[in-house]
Amino acid sequence: MSNQTHRAAQGGIVDRSRTIGFTFDGKRYEGHAGDTLASALLANGVHLVGRSFKYHRPRGILTAGSEEPNALIQLGDGPKTEPNLRATQIELFDGLVASSQNRWPSLNFDIGSINNLLSRYFPAGFYYKTFMWPPSFWMKYEYFTRRAAGLGKAPEAPDPDRYSKTFAHCDVLVVGAGPAGLAAALAAGRAGARVILADEQPQLGGSLLASTDQIEGKSADEWVVDALAELGRMADVRLLPRTNAFGYYDHNYLTLMERVTSHLASPASHLPRQRLWRVRAKQVVLATGAIERPLVFADNDRPGIMLANAVSTYVRRYGVLPGRRAVLLTNNDGAYRAALDLAEAGGTVAAIVDLRPEVSGPMVDAVRAKGIEVLANHAITGTSGKLRVDGVTVMQLARGGVFGEPRSLSCDLVLHSGGWTPSVHLFSQSRGKLKWDDALSAFVPGVAAQVQRSAGGCCGNLSLGDCLDDGHSAGAEAARDAGVSGDAGRAASALGGDFIPAPPVWIVPSDKPVGHNGKHFVDFQNDVTAADVLLANREGYRSVEHLKRYTTMGMGTDQGKTSNINALGILAEAQSRPVPEVGHTTFRPPYTPVTIGTFSGDDHGDLLEPVRRTAIHHWHEGANAPFENVGQWHRAWYYPKAGEDMHAAVNREARAMRTSVGIVDASTLGKIDIQGPDAAKLLNFVYTNAWSKLDIGRSRYGLMCGEDGMVFDDGVTTRLGEHHYLMTTTTGNAARVLGWLENWLQCEYPDWKVYCTSVTEQWATVAINGPMARRLLGELTSDIPLDNESFPFMSMREGSVAGIPARVFRISFTGDLSFEVNVPSSYGHALWTALMAAGEKYQITPYGTETMHVLRAEKGFIIVGQETDGSTTPQDLGMNWIVSKQKGDFIGKRSYARPDTARGDRKHLVGLLTENASEVLPEGGQIVAELKDKPPMVMLGHVTSSYFSPNVGRSIAMAVIKNGRNRMGDTIFVPLADRTIRAKVVEPKFFDLEGTRIDG
């Protein structure tokens, strides 16, 4: 037995044979396996573990669970450091490094505690009333307030650990493995249900792990061992310790965070640190227990002031004596148990200060039998001690205040208990309605909104027997309602004390008015006092939500688990209204904080979103092509030769294509196979032009618009057979277009016989462009005649290319002679390399998307999404010719007749030529007709595409500008941040104006 000065000689379920070393604020300590950081620190006599958020007051450990508001710790260091963890939840492991937060230079001496001295100037919401002068200075004040705020520190390097996510389904999900939860899981499991039992603690058993009660003739912790063994034997029961069920969403979908390895010193590398369980349960049993309610008395926040039940837990579960001489302040019998526990473990209880006017009963007799003084009708009116409580002042209660001589009691531990608050968080998240229980002075589950049951402490059933009965029937009924018919057995029977609720005391009176001397803390973490609550109420912040937001009450990392109810009580009392009329704030997920990494799992980095690569991708990589993200695709951008930058490479590629032959990987274009007798009807409906007369083997370009008449996609569609078409779409829009077609076919025209199938991935496409395209292709095919007559522009032929079965389309995105060869994807690479080999003698040049854009811009071809933006009609693009006047109704048609859409002076697509031929306009440049010295200036439109064109020998640009078609020849200006560029409005076409190159 070591330097653990406050470890009791015996007791507890920690493994005393294993001693574990750890450090806190650089100092070495020892604890045992099974300890939490909190219990180990207490075993070493350490209470001071942190500083409060606002006043930097010294703070200790208040609780023994996840509701802890004070003991927030920075765990570890380097990239694995984690801020704001609760010492009460951190499992001790060898080499654990912990430090306190929000203090400088040290925990014992914190400069920030000057705020405490000045605290009278910092009431709730003080910042709304000041820092307004001089007007521009808020940012300067903010610099300091921001630094003062915050708690722990973020890591400075990326998280080296892995997280994972999983889905699960079950008949019955039981949340909480205390008496009610275990009973529920046993009943449901015995009945044969698929059960998941989750509990946030490392050991299942909840309050039973520190209980003195008997179940089925065994001690409570023995019964837990047997129950877990029985559950372990059931094949369809999954036990999830260290798992925080934190969210309850629609249709019985719950989210749980499991700490898989984050509690271990050296975890196995194949396991994730934490795991997100996404559970869909047929039935849910909530057995989330209750949280002890603090009492709001003067200076109730010093280290060494703890909740009574937490002291019991430290004594009985961890074998730790949090203090040697204690005073208990309570309004209920239940807390007497803690005094007995402490006394039995060797501590002294100086007095029990009971707020009730009269006390009697077995618990009172029991403590008196131990020689403990009971001061009924008394209150603690103040506490003393700098970094640890060293005494309390006690006075007698009368008429809502105190009177008589104050009596000082020295002590190193104060226990307090204001009763219990059921944990209705998940019930409320599930949108169940809460009701007020007067006897308990607490909200309990009312009308459920989902298929769930609450059992045990979270319903306000606080005696052990009730919990076991309640849990058993909830589990049995849940299994039955999930359709499982086995025998659920009977509920376990218990021997133990009943819980007798007592009337609440929202503010424990002191000898001075609240706020005048000493601080009655309600929310420890955010330093909200009873006086702050009263101030908010006085100032009109009377709704609970206003109270919360004005004072920050309940907005800390504990989300007010110990404090909200007291604030409600104080507010209600101040307004002379019953608590349920005041209401409660909304319970939101997560129940306790959940690591961001857990939500993200593996879904980041390369797995954030799928990357799509073409069949020819590896060739592009081999050629050192940089890639451009287009939708999910990676497309080769350009192919730099040694020493070339992008500009040089693109100039070379663009020139080469126009002079000889270039090839481009066009596999990413969307391809939709459309079949059925009504296929032409569909095309007529979704495209603006007419499709009825397209011959088999011929292709046609189409613009697709929304019902609002705005262009949303374009592409070439080819008629492959009588009732068979192949539609192409833009790269980014393929899925959207398929969805669009299906939408109309399934919802509006189910009688049309048309079937659409995406075949984008099935085909690899290589476009061969340039004057030598025909000769090159001719060398690789013998069964497709390539002359203009046999194979005219806008048609398709099937045959073989380089020995590969192929569909060849004579369509062109360059204006030059072009063949787009489609082969089954697996042959894509073979086709490309065959073309490169055969093309060597023609100096064949592969080109990427950038050159493709230059080439199409030379011809004035649009790119949907670049020349258009969702507010562009075909007419705006000067493509009136593609909007059929003859055919019947089609998508978009009606909208063209709307006054604004029919306007003649909308923004039109035009070309721009800069006055300085070598100057390239920046894309996105805004255009004005009238130049001013400085903004604002009236804008006409913007530059949509702009390049240097080696084939035209100058820069070229396309733009959309107001009334552009009537501004031909005008000079416009593009004012940039550093210069202004002048340009002339021209037709949007710059090369091969007569269109003679298309046939080679």
Q: Contacts with other proteins in 663-722 (CB under 8 A)? A: 707-709
User: Which of 212, 216, 263, 278 forms a contact with other proteins (CB under 8 A)?
Assistant: 278
Q: Which stretch binds other proteins (CB under 8 A): 61-69, 417-425, 644-652, 925-933?
A: 925-933
Residue 261's nearest CA partner among 243, 273, 244 is 273
Listing DSSP states for 692-717 in one string gives TTPPTTBEEEEEEE-TTS-EEEEEEE
Q: Which stretch binds other proteins (CB under 8 A): 201-209, 305-313, 347-355, 538-546?
A: 538-546
Window 366-425: residues binding other proteins (CB under 8 A): none
User: Which of 20, 392, 928, 985 forms a contact with other proteins (CB under 8 A)?
Assistant: 928
Site track for other proteins across 578-607, x = CB under 8 A? --------x-xxx--xxxxx-xx--xxxx-
- At closest approach, how far in Å is the CB of 711 from other proteins? 12
User: Which of 30, 869, 919, 970 forms a contact with other proteins (CB under 8 A)?
Assistant: 869
> Where does 84-131 have alpha helices with state H?
114-117
User: Which of 545, 761, 840, 987 forms a contact with other proteins (CB under 8 A)?
Assistant: 545
Window 251-270: residues binding other proteins (CB under 8 A): 251-253, 255
Q: What 3-state class would DSSP assign to 247?
A: strand
Output 79 or 785, the one with its CB closest to other proteins. 79
Total residues at interface with other proteins (CB under 8 A): 129
Output 125 or 241, the one with its CB closest to other proteins. 125
- At closest approach, how far in Å is the CB of 632 from other proteins? 10
- At closest approach, how far in Å is the CB of 358 from other proteins? 34
Q: Angle 731-736-740 (CA atoms, 0-180°, nearest 5)?
A: 135
Q: Angle 922-905-942 (CA atoms, 0-180°, nearest 5)?
A: 10
Listing DSSP states for 253-302 in one string gives EEEEEEESSTT-SS--TTS-SEEEEEEEEEEEEE---EEEPPP--BTTTS
Cα 77 to Cα 99: distance, rounded to the nearest angstrom: 9
Window 740-799: residues binding other proteins (CB under 8 A): 742-743, 746-748, 750
DSSP state of 744: I
- At closest approach, how far in Å is the CB of 853 from other proteins? 9
Output 381 or 552, the one with its CB closest to other proteins. 552
Window 332-361: residues binding other proteins (CB under 8 A): none
Q: What 3-state class would DSSP assign to 950?
A: coil
User: Which of 80, 407, 655, 984 forms a contact with other proteins (CB under 8 A)?
Assistant: 80
Site track for other proteins across 495-524, x = CB under 8 A? ------------------x-xx--------
How far lies 832's CA from each of 642, 804, 821, 827, 861, in Å?
Answer: 22, 11, 10, 9, 25
Residue 287 structure tokens: 């057995």
Q: Please, which residues have CB within 8 angstroms of residue 690's CB and are 6 or more apart in sequence?
A: 684, 884, 886, 887
Q: How far, rounded to the nearest angstrom, does the alpha carbon of residue 304 sit from its chain's CA centroid?
A: 37
Residue 88's nearest CA partner among 313, 258, 304, 245 is 313
Residue 528 structure tokens: 């909200």
Cα 705 to Cα 260: distance, rounded to the nearest angstrom: 52
- At closest approach, how far in Å is the CB of 479 from other proteins? 20
Residue 798 structure tokens: 């099937």
- At closest approach, how far in Å is the CB of 105 from other proteins? 15
Output 486 or 589, the one with its CB closest to other proteins. 589
Output 126 or 403, the one with its CB closest to other proteins. 126
Site track for other proteins across 111-150, x = CB under 8 A? ---------xx-x--xxxxxxxx-x--xx--x--xxx-xx
Output 754 or 835, the one with its CB closest to other proteins. 754
Q: Which stretch binds other proteins (CB under 8 A): 284-292, 714-722, 736-744, 979-987?
A: 736-744
- Tell me if 402 sits within 8 A of 396, measured CB to CB: yes
User: Which of 483, 503, 870, 995 forms a contact with other proteins (CB under 8 A)?
Assistant: 870
DSSP state of 504: -
* CA 691, 694, 696, 700 torsion-angle sign: negative
Residue 123 structure tokens: 């009431």
Window 18-57: residues binding other proteins (CB under 8 A): 53
Burial class (CB in 10 A: 0-12, 13-18, 19+), 547: buried
User: Which of 895, 919, 970, 984 forms a contact with other proteins (CB under 8 A)?
Assistant: 895
- At closest approach, how far in Å is the CB of 560 from other proteins? 11
User: Which of 97, 366, 449, 623 forms a contact with other proteins (CB under 8 A)?
Assistant: 449
- Tell me if 388 sits within 8 A of 304, measured CB to CB: yes
- At closest approach, how far in Å is the CB of 936 from other proteins? 4
Window 546-565: residues binding other proteins (CB under 8 A): 546, 549-550, 552, 555, 557, 559
Window 801-860: residues binding other proteins (CB under 8 A): none
* CA 618, 619, 623, 627 torsion-angle sign: negative
- At closest approach, how far in Å is the CB of 600 from other proteins? 4
User: Could you count the other beta carbons within 10 Å of the beta carbon of residue 696?
Assistant: 13
- At closest approach, how far in Å is the CB of 42 from other proteins? 24
Output 80 or 655, the one with its CB closest to other proteins. 80
The b-or-e profile of 206-243 (16+ CB within 10 A means b, else e) is: bbbbbbebbbeeeebbebbeebbebbeebeebbbbbbb
Site track for other proteins across 155-184, x = CB under 8 A? xxxxx-x-x-x-x-----------------
Window 941-960: residues binding other proteins (CB under 8 A): 942
- Tell me if 625 sits within 8 A of 848, measured CB to CB: yes
Output 769 or 849, the one with its CB closest to other proteins. 849
User: Which of 581, 889, 933, 978 forms a contact with other proteins (CB under 8 A)?
Assistant: 889
User: Which of 976, 993, 995, 999 forms a contact with other proteins (CB under 8 A)?
Assistant: 976
Residue 381's nearest CA partner among 366, 396, 371, 368 is 396
Does 978 contact other proteins by CB under 8 A? Answer: no
- At closest approach, how far in Å is the CB of 862 from other proteins? 14
Q: Please, which residues have CB within 8 angstroms of residue 980's CB and are 6 or more apart in sequence?
A: 931, 973, 974
User: Which of 798, 898, 968, 995 forms a contact with other proteins (CB under 8 A)?
Assistant: 898
Q: Which stretch binds other proteins (CB under 8 A): 394-402, 438-446, 541-549, 712-720?
A: 541-549
Partners of 253 in the beta sheet? 249, 280
User: Which of 21, 361, 362, 739 forms a contact with other proteins (CB under 8 A)?
Assistant: 739
User: Which of 241, 926, 954, 982 forms a contact with other proteins (CB under 8 A)?
Assistant: 926
Bridging pattern class, strands 521-523 and 528-529: antiparallel
DSSP state of 190: H
Window 605-634: residues binding other proteins (CB under 8 A): 605-606, 608-609, 611, 628-630
Does 63 contact other proteins by CB under 8 A? Answer: no
Cα 701 to Cα 718: distance, rounded to the nearest angstrom: 9
- At closest approach, how far in Å is the CB of 489 from other proteins? 31
Listing DSSP states for 313-344 in one string gives HHHHHH-B-S-SEEEEEESSSTTHHHHHHHHH
Does 535 contact other proteins by CB under 8 A? Answer: yes
User: Which of 427, 541, 813, 991 forms a contact with other proteins (CB under 8 A)?
Assistant: 541
